[in-house]
Amino acid sequence: MRIDKLLANMGYGTRKEVKKVLKTGIVQIDGEPVKDAKAQVKPEEQVVTIHGDVVHYQPYIYLMLNKPKGVISATEDEEHETVIDLLAYEHALFQPFPVGRLDKDTEGFLLITNDGKFSHALMSPKRHVTKTYVAVIKGEVTDEDIVAFNEGVVLDDGYLTKPAHLKILSQAAISEIELTITEGKYHQVKRMFEAVGKKVTELKRKAIGALELDSTLKLGEYRELSEEEYELLMERD
């Protein structure tokens, strides 16, 4: 990797700004000053310092975001605020992207990363990674709905969903439920309830796999995953 790219990726400035820093001679690779922006460095093997301070190389970031309503799951958009717009500069410079998506009017747990392999592993249909939601439903959710969801329901386009686990939290004209699915079809949760004659009025994702959203994160807030949380997501059944 070029030294200017490494320093820029680690937040030491733009490529242009980093080149100016390099010319001062304060950057060293394994104790040797380096001024050439094109100089190659192996960050996993070599020690890079600026003014004697070690540059800690971090190729990937893994973020847990509590997505608010009105923000779209995209990297950029001319009309709407995106989940990337919620990130601080030191995280946005990694050019991350959302893992999957949450609808504009859906809140909750969204992962953001710049690691394509991590994203693919969680999104792959072969992994059957569960997503758990809590929702407010217009209409009384019944035991018959639990059975129907467990067997799979037919969506408006004729698609038969995979079995889903429905739990009733409160049962009335306005019901509250928890739903765990292993798919991510377009507007799937909303369409599943429409298939049984009911309507989702509030929706929030609370967990991905065995990892639950940090309850201390307010809407719009995020933090990096711990190593233990990363491993929990990557565990295979």
Of the candidates 103, 105, 115, 157, the residue annotated as catalytic is 103
Q: Is 5 helix (H, G, I), strand (E, B) or coil?
A: helix
Contact 136, 175 (CB under 8 A): yes
Read out DSSP for 9-37?
HTTS--HHHHHHHHHTT-EEETTEE---T
* Residue 211 β-bridge partners: 208
**32 vs 11: CA distance, rounded Å:** 22
Strands 199-208 vs 48-50: parallel, antiparallel or unpaired: unpaired
Task: For residue 103, indicate whether it is catalytic.
Answer: yes
Which residues have a catalytic role annotated? 103
